[in-house]
Amino acid sequence: MSLTSPRLRAVLLAATSAGLIAAAVPAPEPLGIGDPLFPHLGNPGYDVLAYDIAFTYTGDNRKPLDALTKIDARATDRLERINLDFAYGTVRSVTVDGRPADFAGTQEDLVVLPERPVDAGSRLSIAVTHTSDPVAAGAKSGWVRTSDGLAMANQADAAHRVFPCNDHPADKAHFTFRLTAPKDLVAVANGRSVAHTATGPAATWTYRGAEPMATELAQVSIGRSAVVRRTGPHGLPLRDVVPAADRELMEPWLRRTPDHLRWMEDKVGRYPFETYGLLVADAATGFELETQTLSLFERGLFTRPDLPGWHVESIMVHELAHHWFGNSVTPRTWSDLWINEGHATWYEALYAEETGGVPLERRMRDAYAASDRWRAAGGPPAAPRPPAPDDRMSLFRPVVYDGSALVLYALRQEIGATAFGELQRRWVTDHAHATAGTTDFVRLASAVAGRDLTGFLHGWLHGERTPPMPGHPDWRSGAPSDGKPA
């Protein structure tokens, strides 16, 4: 983006030529909330309450979509400017509380200069008319081009490549999506359908989520899709979205979801959202993703003949488990990612043990053997090293998955299966639809166990070397320096 407002451009040029920036008009610069792994992600000074996002899709997934993003927020500080995370789109206009506002782009921030400062405690409404580019140069995630349209994969820091936002999981908000596309296509998004209208050659679908959501979990899919509906436990509406040509091919997998939900509910309690389903995309992403209420899966996962059924189902359970661990209880910082992925991997492994005969203990022993090497390569579970600047997905390393599930195994060994089960249920109940972090987890684990576990968990979460495994003094982890047992 570039400077677009004559008034803002003139003010900044005058201030620069004078060798200073006028106190009333700060220069546009990227801000952040200081996340250890993504320091420029998110923005200080306000709390987003709701997003209302409209996309218009022409039917060509190589062309930018026209979009309007409305943000309802509350100022937590006095704001002379408002930073939003946004990159790769063209901004056409911005209003704040209905009044035109000047704006400028700097790095991956959109800096908005309202007509008058916003007082702390005030509600504010921001509307940004922009484009959203699915083939933006340098974008490795965000929009995903499928064989018949688009889907979305925003983890970890790519939602702002799709729409202006406060792109950090600490600022959850309610979402409404309004999707306009050729009426021979199907458009879906997080939450439940609240409206559908058709005018001429186009149709508009509106979806709204009942619970707050992190930006990285947003999902929009447009394509030649079949929407398959069924009912889950307690009458839960289930909605799967698959390529229309694959409707019958996918059915053997789709019909397993109700049992997966019952299995997870038996472990941790009632499913926390108003609907669930699978979005099967004909695209090569290299991952599956727990986008809220509509988990994203590669088509290839369900068509590979070399994968046993229990393995595919365990991955389905992994993404489902995230709806408790990660989606409902969202990490306060990206360093708390171990809680999400460790628990999802834990339930994936339990499911594989119960249905595929793959012993959990064997998987954990193998993880222990590799743990020191994982920690040397990527840092300990709760203090991971930042991802590579040109590959943010490199954050998702083995230590985040099995290395973090290993922490949970050690904790269960230490406090016993009964207390461990209580901890899991308390965690998703006490922090439902909120954010929580490592300190909260250690505090709750200590309360459930009836003793302070800070010292025990510190080594497991923050140590450079893996502590001894309770109950398994014979387990060894290969040293990173020479490959010999530690």
Q: What one-character-per-residue DSSP string does 412-469 give?
A: HHHH-HHHHHHHHHHHHHHTTTEEE-HHHHHHHHHHHHTS--HHHHHHHHH-SSPPPP
Given 157, 190, 223, the domain boundary residue is: 223
Contact 365, 16 (CB under 8 A): no
Q: Are strands 329-331 and 434-436 parallel, antiparallel or unpaired?
A: parallel
Report d(CA 182, CA 56) in Å as an integer. 9
Sequence-ordered list of residues with C-beta below 8 angstroms from that of 179, at least 6 positions apart, any chain: 54, 55, 57, 187, 188, 189, 204, 205, 206, 207, 220, 222
* 337 and 202 fall within a common domain: no
Tally of domains within the chain? 2
Does 310 map to a domain?
no
Q: Which residue range(s) make up the domain with 364?
A: 329-462
Predicted local confidence at residue 36, as pLDDT:
92
Residue 217 and residue 343 in one domain: no
Looking at 208, 223, 238, the residue that finishes a domain is 223
**Final residue in a domain of this structure, among 203, 223, 243:** 223
CA distance 355 to 316: 13
Q: Is 187 exposed, middle or buried (0-12, 13-18, 19+ CB in 10 A)?
A: buried
CATH of the domain at 449: 1.10.390.10
Query: Do 43 and 54 form a contact (C-beta atoms < 8 A)?
Result: no
Please indicate, yes or no, if residue 363 is contained in any of the structural domains.
Answer: yes
Judge whether 229 lies within some domain.
Answer: no
Please check whether residues 200 and 336 belong to one and the same domain.
Answer: no
Six-digit token pair at 326? 């990660």
Residue 135 domain-assigned (yes or no): yes
In a domain, 233, yes or no: no
CA–CA dist 151, 72 (Å, integer): 25
Tell me 154's DSSP state: -
Handedness of CA 222, 228, 232, 237 (dihedral sign): positive
Let me know if residue 267 belongs to a domain.
Answer: no
Q: How far is CA 249 from CA 238, 243, 245, 302, in A?
A: 18, 10, 8, 9
**pLDDT at res. 465:** 97
Contact predicate 292/213, CB 8 Å:
yes
**pLDDT tens digit at each of 486 positions of the chain:** 333 343 444 433 333 333 322 334 456 888 999 999 999 999 999 999 999 999 999 999 999 999 999 999 999 999 999 999 999 999 999 999 999 999 999 999 999 999 999 999 999 999 999 999 999 855 568 999 999 999 999 999 999 999 999 999 999 999 999 999 999 999 999 999 999 999 899 999 999 999 999 999 999 999 999 999 999 999 999 999 999 999 999 999 999 999 999 999 999 999 999 999 999 999 988 999 999 999 999 999 999 999 999 999 999 999 999 999 999 999 999 999 999 999 999 999 999 999 999 999 999 999 999 999 999 999 999 999 998 877 777 899 999 999 999 999 999 999 999 999 999 999 999 999 999 999 999 999 999 999 999 999 999 999 999 999 999 999 999 866 533 333
246 in a structural domain = no
d(CA 173, CA 153): 18
Strand ranges inside 265-354, DSSP E: 278-281, 295-298, 329-331
The CATH number of residue 37's host domain is: 2.60.40.1730
Let me know if residue 176 belongs to a domain. yes
Residues 38 and 186 in one domain: yes
Rounded-to-integer distance, Cα 338 and Cα 348, Å: 15
Q: What are phi and psi of 407, to 5 degrees?
A: -60, -45
Which of 189, 106, 119 minimizes the C-alpha distance to 151?
189
